[in-house]
Amino acid sequence: MAVHSSPRGWRALVATTLIAATGLASGAAFAGPTLDRIKERGTIRVGVGTTPGFFAPDSNGKWQGFFIDYGRALAITVFGDPEKAQFTTSSPQQRLPALQAGEFDVLLSGVTVTISRALKLGFHFGPTIFYDGQAILARKETGVKTAAELDGATIGVQSGTTGELNIADFFRKSGHKFTPVTIEDTSEFIAALEAGRVDAITQDSSDLVGKLTQLKKPDDYILLPERLSKEPLAPAIAGGDDRWLELVNWTVNVTIQAEEWGITSKNVDEFLKSDDPAIKRFLGVDPSLAETIGLDPKWAYSIIKVVGNYGEIFDRHLKPLGWERGYNNLWTKGGLLYSPPFR
Ligand SMILES: N[C@@H](CCC(=O)N[C@@H](CS)C(=O)NCC(=O)O)C(=O)O
């Protein structure tokens, strides 16, 4: 930028800078490359995994699951239409590079938030939607009941996952020996356990609990009680698009805030009659908030009506697998889910 030496020039520069700064402060996290591409294409490309409960096609080939519903919620935020989310699987190894390359707009595939992924690789993360931990699923014939007893075991790990790194830390700390067998492909990973090529596999507990339902003889395996790490799973996006990041953030927040207020897909229409000014703004009965943030006044209403609140999403997909809320409960109920205010 040219240096303005005359007083007039200097004042003009300050004025321009102020306008720019006020523009930022007063409203807009500007659309960047991802959101532009999404709007041009007319769909959101979502990278997912293949674990029942979290993401799996049903008998009609339609994707279902906890993370899938967040993809649908995002499609409502952007297009007002849950069907505008397109789900594609790719391996844990390939999906972050694919996200970086713009092949996906968002990963809803159980990606753990880590500082290297944020600051070294340049990804951004929405709110944690599932607080998880790494687990070990062992063949019962090994006779072990806890991870601490594992010594000399052969353990399958999936390449590109945090699990690959954590398992090495775990054994370094315990002083026991193990042999890692690194496998990229998910079916091969499971097959290695079933065929006895490995004594155990390690992955997020969400993954193992889901995959256990797909094993031919689930009773032959034991999910060891330890959780080796913290695995906060969150939507991941490429850096460089602030507005897209914020839409991801606030889409998740809608589901959490709705649960906090007791608003569900079943009773949301009743809440349209609420006198609470915050709920009126939230559901767009008072459109003033939506107008200032550039969203359809009914966006939160539609997410709740179609997808439901966090608890409904959790109960629909994860309760049947035996999951309890635990950390994945509202802050008001002893959990970690907390939405910032909608105002
Ligand atoms: N949270 C770990 C692991 C991610 C991961 O591998 N997630 C599972 C699903 S929860 C997965 O994609 N598995 C392969 C598949 O489902 O095909 C990470 O971010 O590195």
Q: What is the pLDDT of residues 4-25, one digit of tens each?
A: 344 444 444 434 433 333 333 3
Ligand 1 binding pocket includes 90 (Cβ within 6 Å): no
Percent of the chain with pLDDT over 70: 91
Write the CA distances from 264 to 260, 302, 305, integer angstroms.
10, 11, 7
Distance 91 CA to ligand 1 centre (A): 8
CB distance 284 to 298 below 8 Å: yes
Distance 68 CA to ligand 1 centre (A): 14
What pLDDT is attached to residue 32? 81
Q: Of the residues 109, 116, 187, 189, which should be mutated to test ligand 1's pocket, given the most ligand atoms within 8 Å of the CB?
A: 109
Tokens of 248: 């991801």
Type of residue at 255: T
What pLDDT is attached to residue 127? 98
Ligand 1 binding pocket includes 50 (Cβ within 6 Å): yes
Ligand 1 binding pocket includes 207 (Cβ within 6 Å): yes
Distance 189 CA to ligand 1 centre (A): 12
Q: Is 130 strand, coil or helix?
A: strand
d(CA 297, CA 53): 31
A 10 A CB-CB count for 34 gives 25
Distance 92 CA to ligand 1 centre (A): 6
Average pLDDT, the chain: 92
**pLDDT average, residue stretch 291-296:** 95
CB distance 66 to 317 below 8 Å: yes
**Greatest Cα-to-Cα distance within the chain, rounded to the nearest angstrom:** 84
The minimum-distance atom of ligand 1 relative to the CA of 189 is 14
Ligand 1 binding pocket includes 134 (Cβ within 6 Å): no
d(CA 118, CA 268): 36
CB distance 150 to 176 below 8 Å: yes
Ligand 1 binding pocket includes 54 (Cβ within 6 Å): yes
Give the model's confidence band at 318: pLDDT under 50 very low, under 70 low, under 90 confident, else very high.
Answer: very high
**pLDDT average, residue stretch 324-339:** 98
Q: Of the residues 161, 201, 317, 323, which should be mutated to test ligand 1's pocket, given the most ligand atoms within 8 Å of the CB?
A: 161
**Reduced 3-state DSSP string for the chain:** CCCCCCHHHHHHHHHHHHHHHHHHHHCCCCCCHHHHHHHHHCCEEEEECCCCCCCEECCCCCEECHHHHHHHHHHHHHHCCHHHEEEEECCHHHHHHHHHCCCCCEECCCCECCHHHHHHCCEEECCCCEEECEEEEEEHHHCCCCHHHCCCEEEEEECCCHHHHHHHHHHHHHCCCEEEEEECCHHHHHHHHHCCCCCEEEEEHHHHHHHHCCCCCHHHEEECCCCCCCEEECCEEECCCHHHHHHHHHHHHHHHHHHHHCCCCCCHHHHCCCCCHHHHHHHCCCCHHHHHHCCCCCHHHHHHHHCCCHHHHHHHHCHHHCCCCCCCCEHHHCCCECCCCCC
What pLDDT is attached to residue 28? 61
d(CA 101, CA 51): 24
- pLDDT > 90? residue 172: yes
The 10s digit of each residue's pLDDT in 217-271 is: 999 999 999 999 999 999 999 999 999 999 999 999 999 999 999 999 999 999 9
**pLDDT average, residue stretch 189-204:** 97
**pLDDT average, residue stretch 80-92:** 97
What pLDDT is attached to residue 21? 36
What pLDDT is attached to residue 203? 98
- pLDDT > 60? residue 26: no
Distance 276 CA to ligand 1 centre (A): 41
Work out whether strand 56-57 and strand 63-64 pair parallel, antiparallel, or are unpaired: antiparallel
Domains of the chain in sequence order: 33-131+233-264+301-324 (3.40.190.10), 134-229 (3.40.190.10)
Q: Of the residues 157, 207, 213, 321, which should be mutated to test ligand 1's pocket, given the most ligand atoms within 8 Å of the CB?
A: 207
The 10s digit of each residue's pLDDT in 151-160 is: 999 999 999 9
Q: Of the residues 63, 117, 183, 203, which should be mutated to test ligand 1's pocket, given the most ligand atoms within 8 Å of the CB?
A: 203
What pLDDT is attached to residue 29? 66
What pLDDT is attached to residue 193? 97
Ligand 1 binding pocket includes 231 (Cβ within 6 Å): yes
A 10 A CB-CB count for 166 gives 19
The minimum-distance atom of ligand 1 relative to the CA of 54 is 10
Ligand 1 binding pocket includes 77 (Cβ within 6 Å): no
Burial (CB count <10 Å: 0-12, 13-18, 19+), residue 85: buried
CB distance 163 to 171 below 8 Å: no
- pLDDT > 90? residue 2: no
Ligand 1 binding pocket includes 49 (Cβ within 6 Å): yes
Ligand 1 binding pocket includes 109 (Cβ within 6 Å): yes
Distance 307 CA to ligand 1 centre (A): 23
Phi-psi map region of 61: left, alpha, beta (phi>0 left; psi -120 to 50 alpha): left
What pLDDT is attached to residue 135? 98
